[in-house]
Amino acid sequence: MLYKRNCHSLLNRKPFKKLTNNDVSYFKSIVGNSYVKEDDIESYNEDWMKWYKGNSKCVLFPNSLEEISDIVKYCYKENIAIVPQSGNTGLVGGSIPVFDEIILSLKRMRNNFSFDPSSGIVQCDAGFILEEINEKLMNHGYMMPIDLGAKGSCFIGGNVATCAGGIQLIKYGNIHANILGLDAIIADEKGSILRMGSSLRKDNTDLHLTHLFVGSEGHLGIIGNVKMLAVPCPKGISTSLLAMKTFDDCKKVLHLAKSQLCENLSSFEFLDHDILQCIKQFSNVPIPFEKIPQFALVIECSGSDEEICSKKMENFLSFCYDENLVDDGIVTNGFNESKGIWNIREGAPLSVGKEGYVYKYDMSLPIEHFYMLNNEIKNLLQKDKEKLGILRICSYGHLGDGNIHFNLISKQPTNDIYNIVHPYIYNWVVNHNGSISAEHGIGQLKRNYMSIGKDTTQTAISRSIKKLFDPKGILNPYKFVN
Amino acid sequence: MLYKRNCHSLLNRKPFKKLTNNDVSYFKSIVGNSYVKEDDIESYNEDWMKWYKGNSKCVLFPNSLEEISDIVKYCYKENIAIVPQSGNTGLVGGSIPVFDEIILSLKRMRNNFSFDPSSGIVQCDAGFILEEINEKLMNHGYMMPIDLGAKGSCFIGGNVATCAGGIQLIKYGNIHANILGLDAIIADEKGSILRMGSSLRKDNTDLHLTHLFVGSEGHLGIIGNVKMLAVPCPKGISTSLLAMKTFDDCKKVLHLAKSQLCENLSSFEFLDHDILQCIKQFSNVPIPFEKIPQFALVIECSGSDEEICSKKMENFLSFCYDENLVDDGIVTNGFNESKGIWNIREGAPLSVGKEGYVYKYDMSLPIEHFYMLNNEIKNLLQKDKEKLGILRICSYGHLGDGNIHFNLISKQPTNDIYNIVHPYIYNWVVNHNGSISAEHGIGQLKRNYMSIGKDTTQTAISRSIKKLFDPKGILNPYKFVN
C-alpha cells in the first residue's frame, strides 16, 4: 500500500535487457570498480517521501560527459533502460525506476565550476547542489535565480530538467528566463554529446534546443552541465506576514503588490486557515496572530537598497490597511529577521506529512479559480470524509504566479482517493484552464493524466521529438513522453 | 549590385511547384478574392533597407488559424514554398523570398486580443504591432517586456519567431523569459494547428515546445498567436549619457551599474567615437559634450517610484565620478526629458545608412573581447581602406548584454568585403567565444556562416526537428535550418 503511487502495477515491463554480470563488468570498465554500486542502493531506489520504489540492481556514478556517453552508447547497443537521477528530491517519482532500469546518478558530475562576475554567468557541471552554488557565488555578491525548499540537496541539472519553480519565480522568472546553454548526452547509437546554446545572453544562430531540455524530465537526454545567468544578491529585504479575512482581499493585495512593490516583489505566498492550523499543531511553529486567520500571505520585497525595501513595504502596507484589506500583520526588515515568517511558510510541506498520509497536488490555476477547488473538494468529500479517513483538506502555494499546492491528508492511503478524487481533481483543473503540473512535473504520478485536455497533434510531435533523441526509448521509460 | 546580400545567386531553385492560375484561384477560395495580391507586391518582395529582393508572384493575407492551415495544407500537397512575413522589419532577409516562394503575410491576423490585469498576461494574434499592444496595455498600467527600434511596425509574431532583443533585455530578459504559449501551423499533410503552452506562468505537463518556436525564423511553423507576460509600466525613469575615456572604464561602470542600480537597471547602451561623429554629422543630433568623447554610455534606471530612480542614479553617478571613471555626463529624470539622450542612441542605425553603403554585423561577444574586433578590423583594412572605399568603421550596441552592432560603411558594395571581410569577422567572433548572430537572426545573410564552430551533431538534430514540423521543407526554404 505504501508505494501505491508507483506506476509499475499499471504497466508491463518493456522488453529491455535484464542486467547481466557482463554488463556490470563493462560499466566498471568505464567508471571504475568503486563507482558501480550494487549493494545498499535502497536510497537510490526510493524517493525521500517513500512514495515510489524501484527495483534497480545497479547505480552508476560517472564523472564526465565522456563517461556518460560511453554508458549510454553501451545501453543503446544492449537495450538497457536508464533512469537519470540528480538530487532525488522530486515528488512525482520521476527519478525512481519503475522496474529494474539502471540508475545513472549525477552525484559525481562536479568537476567544472566557473563564474564570470562581469557577465554574471555561471557554468557548472550538473551535480552541483543549488545551495552550494549559491555559497560559491556569494563571494561575488551573486546568487542563483531559483530558491526552493530542496535547495540543500537538489542538483542544478535536475532543476533544469524539471523546470524547477520555487518562491522567487515572481521576481526572477523561471528556468527559461535564466538558462543560456547546456551539454546533454542523448541516447543515439553514439551516445552523442549535444552542445547547445552558449555562455552568451543573446545567441540566435540555431534552433534554441537548450530550452527543449528544460522540463524534459530526463526523457531527451542526460544533462551534464549548464550555463545560467546568476543574479546580484539583494542587499535589503523586507518581509511581511498578513492575516486576511477573504480570498478576494488576497487577490486585491496581490494586484497592489505587483504595481507598488513591482520590481522589488520577490515572493507572494499564500496559506489557508487549515494549513496554518496544521503547521501550528504539527510543527510547533508559532503563528503570531491572536487567532488563526482565514488566510495568510507572506510577501517579500527585496532589492539593492535596504532603506528602499523597507520604505516600499511600509508604504504598501499602509495602503493595504487604509483600504481595509488587511486584518492584522507583522513586518520584518533584514534576512535573519525574516526567518520567523519563512518558518511558517516552510513549515507547510513538512507539517502535512506529520499529520498523516498526504496527497499533494501541484497545480496552476487562473487567479479567479485559484482557491475554488479547495471548497469544491471539501463539499465533494463532505459525506464520505469519515469513510475515506480524511483528516484535513488544505492549500498553500505561490499565489503570485498562480501555483497552488492543494493537500489531502488521510489516515492511510485508500484506493477510492486514487480512483475517484485524482481524476476528479485533474479534470476540474483542466476544465478551469489550469495545469495539472505547475512545478513538480509528470514523472510516475501524473503519467495517466497528462493528456487531459491536450491536443493529440501536440502529443504526437512530442513523441516524435522523443524518438529523435532516444530512438529506442531507453531514457527514463514508462513516464511522461513515451 | 544593390541586392548583393540576397542569397539566390549562390543557390539553385529547389524543385518547388511554380505557381499556376489554379493555385491562385484556390488561395482566393480560402481567403477571399481581395486578400490574394498579385500586383503591386514590390514592398513585400523587398526589405525596408532594400538589401534583399524576392521574386514572389503572390501575397496571401489569411485572417485566421484555420485559413493559414488551409493554405499550408494545400501548399504541402502541391509542393509550393511559403515565406511567412510579419512586419518585414528584419535585417537578414529572413522574411523575403529567395526565389518565387509565395508570401504569407500575417497582417490580417489581428482579431483576438485580451489582457488579464490580475495575471499580467496578454493573449493576442500574431499580426498586432508591438507599439499598438503597448498602447492597449497602457490603460492597465502595463507594457510589453520588449523595446526595439522597429516597434512601430514589427509584429509580435515576428518578435517571437526571431527572438527579438532590444534595449531593455537587461531588465526584462529575452522572449524566453516572457513567452508562455503560442499556436502555430506546421507544414504537415493536414496543416496541423499546434497549440503549445498555456496562459499560465507555470505549466510542466509536456515538452516545452513553445520555446522551440522562439527564434525559429518561420522554419518550423507559422506562429498565429502568442501568450506572453506583460510587465508593469515604470512610473519613474532616470537616464544618463556619460562621456568615457577608455573601454576599460566602460566595463567598470557596467559592473557598478549592475550591482548598484540592480533591479532598476533597464538599459546599458554603448556608442564609440566614430558612431557619435556619424550621428552628429548625418542626423544632426546634438552631442552635448564639448568634444566628442572616445565612448559614450546611455544608462537607464527605471522603476515603480520616481524619487527612488533619480536617487539611485544620482548615487551611482557620484560614485562613478568619485572613482574617476566618468569624464563628463548629463542626467535627466522623466520620460519626456530622456528623449534627447535616446535620440542620440536611436540616431545610430539611421545615421550609418545616410553616410553610405552599410554592412551591419550583429554579434554577441564576451565583455573582454567586446570592443577588440573594432580595432582589429581597422588595422586589417588600414592599407586597403581607399581601395575598398571604406568611409567609416564604427560600433554601438547593447553592452549590458554583450551585443555589439559593428558597422562598416563604404562608398558602394564591393565583392572584397563579402568575400574577405565577412568570413574574417565571423571566424574571429566564433574564435573569441562570441555568436555571429545576437538578435537579428540568420535569414539569408548568415546562412553560409551559421555552422562555424558548431557541433555537427547539434546541426543534425536541428535538421531532423525541422523535418518533423515541415517534412517537405516548404517553409521559408534556402535559409537557416534546411
pLDDT per position as a tens digit, A269-301:
999 999 999 999 999 999 999 999 999 999 999
pLDDT at A54 exceeding the cut of 70: yes
Q: Determine the average pLDDT of the residues in A251-264.
A: 96
- Say if the Cβ atoms of A263 and B439 lie within 8 Å: no
Q: For chain A, how big is the Rg over CA atoms in Å?
A: 23
Which pLDDT value is given to residue A418?
Answer: 79
Tell me which residue of B110, B115, B124 sits closest to B64, measured CA to CA: B110
Residue-wise DSSP of B257-319: HHHHTGGGEEEEEEEEHHHHHHHHHHH-----SSS--SEEEEEEEEES-HHHHHHHHHHHHHH
Name chain B contacts of A263, Cβ cutoff 8 Å: 171, 263-264, 303-304
**Minimal CA separation from A375 to chain B, in Å:** 22
pLDDT per position as a tens digit, A223-236:
999 999 999 999 99
Name chain A contacts of B212, Cβ cutoff 8 Å: 207-209, 211-212
Nearest-by-CA chain A residue for B173: A177
Nearest-by-CA chain A residue for B211: A211
Name chain B contacts of A171, Cβ cutoff 8 Å: 263
Q: Say yes or no: do domains B236-346 and B356-431 share a fold.
A: yes
**Minimal CA separation from B91 to chain A, in Å:** 13
pLDDT at A1 exceeding the cut of 80: no
* Distance between CA atoms of residues A408 and A421, nearest Å: 10
* Average pLDDT of chain A, as a whole number: 95
Which residues are bridge partners to B298 per DSSP?
B241, B269
A202: nearest CB among B260, B312, B401: B401
* Distance between CA atoms of residues B41 and B452, nearest Å: 36
Which pLDDT value is given to residue B413?
Answer: 83
Which pLDDT value is given to residue A11?
Answer: 86
Span B356-431: which CATH code? 3.30.70.2740
**Minimal CA separation from B61 to chain A, in Å:** 25
* A22, A60, A82, A222, A467 from A188: Cα distances, Å: 22, 19, 13, 12, 10
Which pLDDT value is given to residue B11?
Answer: 86
Helix (H, G, I), strand (E, B) or coil at A287: coil
Nearest-by-CA chain A residue for B218: A207
Name chain A contacts of B120, Cβ cutoff 8 Å: 258
pTM: 0.96
- C-alpha B75, offset from chain centre: 28
- Say if the Cβ atoms of A116 and B455 lie within 8 Å: no
Name chain A contacts of B251, Cβ cutoff 8 Å: 118
Nearest-by-CA chain A residue for B208: A212
pLDDT per position as a tens digit, A295-334:
999 999 999 999 999 999 999 999 999 999 998 999 999 9
pLDDT at A172 exceeding the cut of 50: yes
A200: nearest CB among B199, B364, B459: B364
Q: Which residues contact B191 (CB under 8 A, 6 or more apart)?
A: B68, B69, B70, B71, B72, B73, B74, B76, B185
Name chain B contacts of A163, Cβ cutoff 8 Å: 204, 208
Helix (H, G, I), strand (E, B) or coil at B441: coil
* Distance between CA atoms of residues B162 and B152, nearest Å: 17
B401: nearest CB among A201, A258, A262: A201
* Distance between CA atoms of residues B61 and B71, nearest Å: 10
* Distance between CA atoms of residues A72 and A55, nearest Å: 20
Q: Determine the average pLDDT of the residues in A393-404.
A: 97
Size of interface A-B (CB pairs under 8 A): 268
Name chain A contacts of B194, Cβ cutoff 8 Å: 455, 457-458, 461
Which pLDDT value is given to residue B4?
Answer: 58
* Distance between CA atoms of residues A344 and A384, nearest Å: 31
Q: Where is average pLDDT lowest: A22-31, A55-64, B345-354, B373-382?
A: B373-382
Mutate to test the interface with A, among B174, B186, B201 (most CBs of A within 10 A): B201
Mutate to test the interface with A, among B219, B398, B461 (most CBs of A within 10 A): B461
Q: Kindly list the averaged pLDDT for each block of 10 residues, start to end, along chain B of length 482.
A: 61 96 98 98 94 96 98 98 97 96 98 96 98 97 96 98 95 98 98 96 96 98 98 97 98 96 97 98 94 98 95 97 96 95 96 94 96 92 88 97 96 83 93 96 91 91 97 95 67
Mutate to test the interface with B, among A160, A206, A304 (most CBs of B within 10 A): A206
Domain boundaries in chain B?
A: 2-107, 113-232, 236-346, 356-431
* Distance between CA atoms of residues B435 and B429, nearest Å: 6
DSSP collapsed to 3 states, A304-330: CCHHHHHHHHHHHHHHHHHCCCCCEEE
pLDDT at A378 exceeding the cut of 50: yes
What's the DSSP call for residue B19?
P
* Distance between CA atoms of residues A151 and A138, nearest Å: 15
A264: nearest CB among B195, B219, B263: B263
CATH (one of 2.60.120.10, 3.90.1150.10, 2.60.40.1180, 3.30.43.10) for A2-107: 3.30.43.10
Span B113-232: which CATH code? 3.30.465.10
Name chain A contacts of B178, Cβ cutoff 8 Å: 173, 177
* Distance between CA atoms of residues B132 and A214, nearest Å: 32
Which pLDDT value is given to residue B2?
Answer: 45
Which ipTM was obtained for this model? 0.96
Nearest-by-CA chain A residue for B180: A176
* Beta-strand pair A295-303/A236-244: antiparallel
What's the pLDDT band for A419 if we cut at 50, 70, 90? confident
Fold of A236-346: Alpha-Beta Plaits (3.30.70)
Which pLDDT value is given to residue B144?
Answer: 98
* Distance between CA atoms of residues A274 and A297, nearest Å: 14
Nearest-by-CA chain A residue for B141: A259
> Where is pLDDT greater, at A418 or A450?
A450
Name chain A contacts of B361, Cβ cutoff 8 Å: none
Query: Do residues A187 and A470 make contact, with C-beta atoms less than 8 angstroms apart?
Result: yes
